[in-house]
Amino acid sequence: MDTTTVDLRHVTKTFRGTTALRSINLRMQPGVVGLLGPNGAGKTTLLRILATVLAVDNGSVRVLGRDVTDTEQRTDIRRRLGYLPQELGFPRGFSAYAFVDYMAVLKEWDDAAARRTEVRRALAAVGLQDKATKRIRALSGGQRRRVALAQALLGSPELLVLDEPTTGLDPEQRVSLRQVLAEAGRTATVVISTHQTDDVAALCDRVVVLDEGSVRFDGRVQDLVNEAAGRVWLADRADPRASASWRTGTGRYRNLGQTAPPDAELVEPSLEDAYLLLRGASAPDDAEVAA
């Protein structure tokens, strides 16, 4: 049985002469997929296309077995879709409950009792049941992000498209969110764009690395990590030949590269190491390394 939920073929998208996506081919099945890539790699563009809010210039996009270019089929996709954009503003004067309730109506939850139950469930799923009646304006950044996430979880969608869902969340909230998304990923396709490689490592079955609009890697997380095996070293000083190098909390330097620095110790690579090596990062800023 074909379980493909997302099928992108030769998808290209250009904004005012800048190519955001170059002939992307991707197929996704239920599970959690992590999208990694530097700023401007095309992650958000790809997610907006999956969320049916952005049309492609070339190529074909089928989501949940439907063609996104057909109006009725697109509406059907939206009925089965949860979308968290990278930046979401909220209408003025809304409480958390009112906003999620409003979104539930837009998602055709017409029955008042069923909608009330579902809105409460979604708010509870992100740990905001106690803040439901608070004005969104009075919530913290992390709480607002969770309100935005709650609306995406409405109706337990078959496809969840989440653009940087963990931004602004504290470690406990991130772990809780991982539980929510891992549970969702058992039956649904969850696509997450993030800069947090540890989230991807902890949560995703599969990782897609985008760079300059092209797919640089597409496979299992462990496969990407394995590619870095034998190329991550701990040494007493930074190696100028390394792709990336930074001082760790122990005072030693983590060096990513083909050759061993003097007196270096080979260590197990992380997903972040593998990602940086894949990109061939030369500067911590470029590679978004947190020293």
Partner 1 sequence: MTTMALPLTAARSRSSLSVLAWIEAKRFARHPMFLVGLGLAVWATVVIGSGGPASRGEVARGPENLDFQVIPGFLVGVFGFVVAARLTRSTSRSQEVMRGAPLSDTVRTAALCLACLVPMSAGLALVLLHAAIVTSDPPEEWIYGTYGSLEQVVIVGVLPVIFSVGGPLLGVAVGRWLRFPGAILLCVGILLFWCAWAAYSPIESMDASSPLSRVLHLLTPYTAWGQADGDGDVPSTEFTSFTGSPVWFALWALALCGLAVCAALWRGAEGRGRVIVGRSFVGLSVAALVFLGLAAMGGNDEPMVTTPDGVTRVVQSE
The residues that touch partner 1, with contacts defined as CB under 8 A, are 48, 51-53, 71, 75-76, 78-79, 81, 83-85, 87-93, 99, 101-103, 105-112, 114, 118, 121, 124-127, 148, 151-156, 161, 173, 176-177, 179-180, 183-184, 187
CB of 38 to partner 1, least distance (A): 22
CB of 51 to partner 1, least distance (A): 5
Residue number, 146 or 195, with CB nearest to partner 1: 146
Residue number, 79 or 241, with CB nearest to partner 1: 79
CB of 144 to partner 1, least distance (A): 12
CA distance between the termini of the chain: 46
Residue number, 99 or 233, with CB nearest to partner 1: 99
Angle at 194 between CA 156 and CA 43, to 5 degrees: 90
Q: Strand locations in the chain, DSSP E?
A: 6-15, 18-28, 31-36, 58-63, 66-67, 81-84, 159-163, 189-193, 206-211, 214-220, 232-235, 244-247, 253-256, 265-266
d(CA 262, CA 242): 12
Residue number, 74 or 216, with CB nearest to partner 1: 74
Residue number, 19 or 176, with CB nearest to partner 1: 176
CB of 255 to partner 1, least distance (A): 38
Q: Which pair of tokens denotes residue 272?
A: 């972040």
**CA 90 to centroid of chain Cα atoms:** 21
CB of 126 to partner 1, least distance (A): 6
d(CA 56, CA 139): 36
